[in-house]
């Protein structure tokens, strides 16, 4: 057996890795922001929309949660192409990831809504809050606070899942590793390096979300524990 590792030729190409990591991060942040907005809206639609809207949101969640991301990406990619849109791989990747994470966010937010006791809503009404105020201050924000850990884990998983977009030639980390290994014939070293990059990225994202949590939810900061 010839066990000789040579990381040198792989690490020589570090600017490519950095570019790939940057694109992965961009994809993750874009999909997180838009996916969260989409998911929160769908969760609201599912809870208090008219029956057809609630049904639509439910169907969206079930359809996405029960099919693989790879197939979803291909569907978006070829579906848009057959409709005559020619978008860059990056746009398609961001779109597909947004659609995907939106469904998971919907489900998580719904669990958050369900965890708010009815008494809280009634108390809000008794205090003379308007319907909208109750929705925002009593339902949405506390629910978000409760499911924040689940949401952040989901967003980190989304970052890892963005590796699948290399299949439609979005130039993110995994695609970079594929390129470098075909260039240097150092497959093991390339993929190990990229795995370390992903580990570092997920660590950075967790740290970022932890800080953001302290910033967004002062109550959590004061109590020192999650609700």
Instruction: Please tell me the count of residues contacting another protein according to CB under 8 A.
Output: 56
Task: Report the 10 Å Cβ neighbour count for 34.
Answer: 17
Contacts with another protein in 89-148 (CB under 8 A)? 100-101, 104, 108, 111, 114-115, 147
Compute the least distance from the CB of residue 19 to another protein, in Å: 17
Structure tokens, 107: 């489900």
Q: Which of 14, 18, 55, 68 binds another protein (CB under 8 A)?
A: 68
C-alpha to C-alpha distance for 19 and 28, rounded to whole angstroms: 14
- Asked if 210 is part of the footprint of another protein (rule: CB under 8 A), the reply reads no
C-alpha to C-alpha distance for 70 and 165, rounded to whole angstroms: 8
C-alpha to C-alpha distance for 207 and 193, rounded to whole angstroms: 21
DSSP secondary structure string, 139-153? Answer: IIHHHHHHHHHHHHH
Q: Which C-beta is closer to another protein: that of 134 or that of 168? A: 168
- Asked if 78 is part of the footprint of another protein (rule: CB under 8 A), the reply reads yes
Structure tokens, 162: 């963005």
C-alpha to C-alpha distance for 193 and 140, rounded to whole angstroms: 41
Residues at the interface with another protein (CB under 8 A):
1-3, 62-63, 65-72, 74-75, 77-79, 81-82, 100-101, 104, 108, 111, 114-115, 147, 150, 153-154, 157-158, 160-161, 163-164, 166-167, 174, 177-178, 181, 185-188, 190-192, 194-195, 198-199, 202-203
């Amino acid at each position: 057996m010839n066990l000789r590792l040579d990381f040198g030729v792989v690490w020589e190409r570090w600017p490519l890795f950095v570019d790939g990591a940057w694109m992965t991060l961009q994809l993750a942040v874009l999909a997180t922001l838009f996916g969260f907005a989409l998911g929160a809206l769908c969760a609201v639609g599912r809870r208090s929309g008219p029956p057809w809207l609630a049904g639509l949101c439910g169907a969206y969640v079930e359809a996405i949660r029960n099919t693989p991301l790879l197939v979803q990406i291909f569907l978006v990619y070829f579906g848009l192409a057959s409709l005559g849109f020619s978008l860059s791989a990056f746009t398609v990747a961001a779109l597909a990831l947004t659609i995907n994470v939106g469904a998971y966010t919907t489900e998580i937010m719904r669990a958050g809504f369900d965890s708010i006791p009815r008494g809280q809503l009634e108390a809000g009404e008794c205090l003379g809050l308007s319907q909208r105020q109750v929705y925002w201050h009593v339902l949405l924000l506390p629910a978000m606070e409760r499911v924040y850990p689940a949401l952040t884990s989901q967003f980190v998983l989304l970052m890892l899942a963005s590796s699948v977009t290399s299949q439609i030639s979005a130039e993110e980390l995994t695609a970079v590793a594929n390129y470098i290994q075909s260039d240097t014939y150092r497959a093991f070293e390339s993929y190990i390096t990229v795995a370390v990059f992903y580990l570092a990225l997920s660590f950075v994202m967790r740290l970022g979300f932890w800080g953001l949590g302290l910033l967004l939810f002062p109550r959590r900061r004061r109590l020192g524990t999650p609700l």
